[in-house]
Amino acid sequence: MKKFFIVFLMAILSACAGDGNFNYESKTDNEIYDEGLRQLKKENVISATEAFKQVEYNHPYSPLVAKSWIMAGYAYYTDKKYMDAIEQFERLLNLQPNHPQADYAMYMIAMSYYDQVSPVTRDQKMTELALLKMEDLVKKYPDSKYSNDVKPKIIIAKNNLASKEMYIASSLMKRKNIIGALNRYQTVIKKYETTLFVPEALFRTVEIYNMMGQKDEVKNMTRLLEVNYPNTKWYEMAKEIAKSI
């Protein structure tokens, strides 16, 4: 058994050494870059990213340096090492902001955050960062195919953030913190006005204003529901409250 383990271990070390014997210092930029592609095709992410980084290290003025950043970022992304991926893509944007693939780099940064989005019951920091990066992409490159790809994801991200606000507001209501809840509902109405949670948020403000005895605000919020969401259950319920006062 011990002999078998030693043979097995030597086989592993031998396989690793096969990739480690690539002498970067003696290779051209194209050869090193191609080695990175070869390792990436074999799904050897560590070896691939090392090769791509060696392009810059050994040939700092090579036109392949920027492509190596991109490919290293892509390799990290496929391995779900999102922060490492972001670092590589941001390197491109910081040092070569006018690169032809700058829109792709921005897209991959956004996706690196987007793929880390959590359920609404948990922290939504990654959703916020993903939304920020996606909106920056659409603003800077409105005609890019990557901008078209993120547009539906922007809607999803905004709905996630609005849902989080609704979740917190509901929790605050259960704790009788109606002012805190009201602020959360108002955030949904003002900041996420295009999301599907706005009608309910408007109705909840009607409920709270009614609890506070603010009759004019009850009528104002009900009017907003009537104008913008007349065919919803939220307007019908708000209308009944308004009638009662």
Tell me: pLDDT of 126 over 70: yes
Alpha helices in 59-177 (DSSP H): 64-78, 82-95, 102-114, 125-140, 145-174
Count Cβ neighbours within 10 Å for each residue of 129-166 and write b for 16 or more, e otherwise: bbbebbbebbeebeebebbeebeebbebbbbbbbbbbb
Tell me: pLDDT of 1 over 50: no
Tell me: pLDDT of 10 over 70: no
Q: Which pLDDT value is given to residue 90?
A: 98
Provide the CATH topology of domain 25-100: 1.25.40
Which tokens belong to 187?
Answer: 């955030």
DSSP state of 123: -
Tell me: pLDDT of 2 over 70: no
* Sign, CA torsion 68/70/72/78: negative
* List of residues 6+ apart from 20 with CB closer than 8 A: none
Tell me: pLDDT of 114 over 60: yes
Query: pLDDT tens for residues 72-108?
Result: 999 999 999 999 999 999 999 999 999 999 999 999 9
CA distance to 42, 72, 194, 218, 238, per residue, from 241 (Å) = 65, 59, 25, 8, 5
DSSP state of 119: P
Query: pLDDT tens for residues 46-79?
Result: 999 999 999 999 999 999 999 999 999 999 999 9
Q: Which pLDDT value is given to residue 22?
A: 82
% of the chain with per-residue pLDDT over 90: 90
Is the Cβ–Cβ distance between 171 and 187 less than 8 Å? no
Q: Which pLDDT value is given to residue 245?
A: 80
Packing angle between helix 64-78 and helix 45-58, nearest 10 degrees?
160
Burial class (CB in 10 A: 0-12, 13-18, 19+), 177: middle
* List of residues 6+ apart from 105 with CB closer than 8 A: 70, 73, 89, 90, 92, 93, 99
Q: Spell out the domain ranges in the chain.
A: 25-100
Q: Which pLDDT value is given to residue 6?
A: 40
Query: pLDDT tens for residues 224-238?
Result: 999 999 999 999 999
Q: Which pLDDT value is given to residue 19?
A: 52
Q: Residue range 104-114: average pLDDT?
A: 98
- pLDDT category of residue 20 using cuts at 50, 70 and 90: low
Q: Which pLDDT value is given to residue 128?
A: 98
Burial class (CB in 10 A: 0-12, 13-18, 19+), 97: exposed
* List of residues 6+ apart from 225 with CB closer than 8 A: 199, 202, 203, 206, 232, 234, 235, 238, 239
Query: pLDDT tens for residues 202-227?
Result: 999 999 999 999 999 999 999 999 99
* List of residues 6+ apart from 205 with CB closer than 8 A: 182, 185, 186, 189, 217, 221
The residue type found at 199 is P
Is the Cβ–Cβ distance between 205 and 221 less than 8 Å? yes
Listed range (8-12, 19-23, 34-38, 187-191) with the worst mean pLDDT = 8-12
Which tokens belong to 49?
Answer: 């990213």
CA–CA gap between residue 189 and residue 196 (Å, rounded): 10
Q: Which pLDDT value is given to residue 21?
A: 74
